[in-house]
Structure 1
Amino acid sequence: MHSIEYFLFEADFVENNIRCIPMIVRLKLDLTGVKFSLAAWSKCSVSERQELAMISCNSADERLKYKTYAERLVCAHTDEPVKYIPVPLQPLWDDIRAVPDELKSHADIYGWTITEEQWKVLPRLRRFALLKLCRPGHENRNFPLAMREFGLVN
C-alpha cells in the first residue's frame, strides 16, 4: 500500500485491505461525478481498490478513463445502476484565495483558526480532505486528527 497516497488518520482502514474509501479515491470520484457506495466498495477486490487509488485523474482524458473504470466496477459488483453526483466547476478545495466558511466554522468548534496562508500552502488533497471531514453527517472524529497531521494545530 506504500504507493497509494493516504493520510495517517486513514491508516487503520487502509493498511490491510483498504476497507474504507480513502480520501484520494473520494477526490477522484468527486472529480468524475461517480457515486461509489461503501457497499459497492466492499465488493471490489483489493486490487480493484488499489487501482482506484493509484490511477491518475488529472487531465480530462484521465478523468474520463477513471469514470469509465469506476462505472464498470459499480456495475460489476452491484445490481444497481450507477449513480452520479454533480461535478463542481470551481470546487472549494481548489480555491486558495480564502478558507471556506464551512471549514472556518468547523475549526471554530475546536477553538482553532485556519489562516489564508495555511490554506494556500496546503496541497489539494489536504484541502479536499478537510472539507470532506467537516461536512454535516460525516463522521467527524478524523477532523481533529487531520488538522494535527497537516500541522494546522499543536
Structure 2
Amino acid sequence: MTRQDRPQLFDFEVPSSENLSYIPLSVRFHLDRSGQRISLDDWQRLPYDARVTLASYAVEEGPGGGALGGTDGVARTRTSPSTVQQSSEADFAALLRAWMLEHVGRPPETGAPPASLPGDDRAALPASVAAQCALAGLDVPGDDAWAALSRFQRYALAKLSRKATLNHDFVPAMTEFRLVHGQAV
C-alpha cells in the first residue's frame, strides 16, 4: 500500500467526503482489511491532517482481482509483493492507533482481519447489492459486469448495500461504475 498525494475518493464520495467529515470508503477498506473499527465520532475527533493522511493510503490490487482504483477520482495502483502490502497495512494501523490514542484517548477497536472482504467474490453478486438495485429501480448487474469491476468497486457497492434501506450513494456509485445503462435514475 502506498500513500498518494491526495485522499482516495470516488467521484460520488466527493460531495459528502471531500472535507473528510465522513469516513471515506478507502479508509473503510483499510479498517476492514486490518480488522479495525472506529466510530464516525472518533474519526471526526482526529485532526484534519491525520484524516487526510489516512485517506491518502491507496487501495491496491489484491485477492479478488482487478486494480482497485475506480474510474475517476481514485488512483490506480498495482500491487507490490504481499509482504510489502502487509507491512504497509501495519503502517496504516500503527498511524491510526497512535492518532486515536493521542486525540481520542483510546485505540481503535480491533479484531482478527477477515479472510475476505465484501465484494471479493468476482463470481457472485451479493444479495444485498441485488436488493439495493431493486430499491433503486435499477437492473441487477450481470455476472460479466460484476466480474469486470475492480475489487474496490465491488467492495464499495457491497458496503453501500449493507442496510435494507436505499443508500443515498448507491445510484451515484452504480452510475460512476457504468452499471446504469439507459435507465431513468
Taking the aligned partners of 2:154 and 2:8, their CA distance within structure 1 comes to 14
Aligned to 1:20: 22
Larger RCO, structures 1/2 (Cα 8 Å, 6+ apart): 2
Structure 1 unaligned blocks of 5 or more = none
Taking the aligned partners of 2:55 and 2:129, their CA distance within structure 1 comes to 25
Aligned to 1:9: 12
Alignment match of 1:104 (pick from 85, 106, 130)? 130
Distance 1:145 1:86, change over 3 A: farther
- The one-character-per-residue Cα deviations of 1:22-76 (angstroms, maximum 9, x if unpaired) are 1111111111111121111111122111110123566111111211111122212
Alignment match of 2:91 (pick from 43, 57, 65)? 65
Structure 1 residue 86: Cα displacement: 4.6
List 4+ stretches of structure 1 deviating above 3 A.
none
TM-score by length of 2: 0.73
Distance 1:8 1:60, change over 3 A: same
Distance 1:85 1:148, change over 3 A: farther
RMSD across aligned positions (CA)? 2.3
Structure 1 residue 133: Cα displacement: 0.6
Aligned to 1:42: 44
Structure 1 residue 139: Cα displacement: 7.0
Is the contact between residue 34 and residue 70 of structure 1 (CA under 8 Å) also seen in structure 2?
Answer: no
Aligned to 1:31: 33
TM-score by length of 1: 0.86
What does 1:49-88 align with in structure 2 at a 5 Å threshold?
49-56=51-58, 59-88=85-114
Structure 2 unaligned blocks of 5 or more = 61-84
Aligned to 1:113: 140
- Normalized per residue, the structure richer in helix is 1
Secondary structure, counterpart of 1:94 in structure 2: coil
- The one-character-per-residue Cα deviations of 1:78-112 (angstroms, maximum 9, x if unpaired) are 13443125522022322112212221222122332
Alignment match of 2:156 (pick from 120, 126, 129)? 129
Taking the aligned partners of 1:30 and 1:62, their CA distance within structure 2 comes to 15
Distance 1:153 1:86, change over 3 A: farther
What is the count of residue pairs matched by the alignment? 153
Taking the aligned partners of 1:63 and 1:9, their CA distance within structure 2 comes to 25
Identical counterparts, % of pairs:
28
Taking the aligned partners of 1:128 and 1:117, their CA distance within structure 2 comes to 16
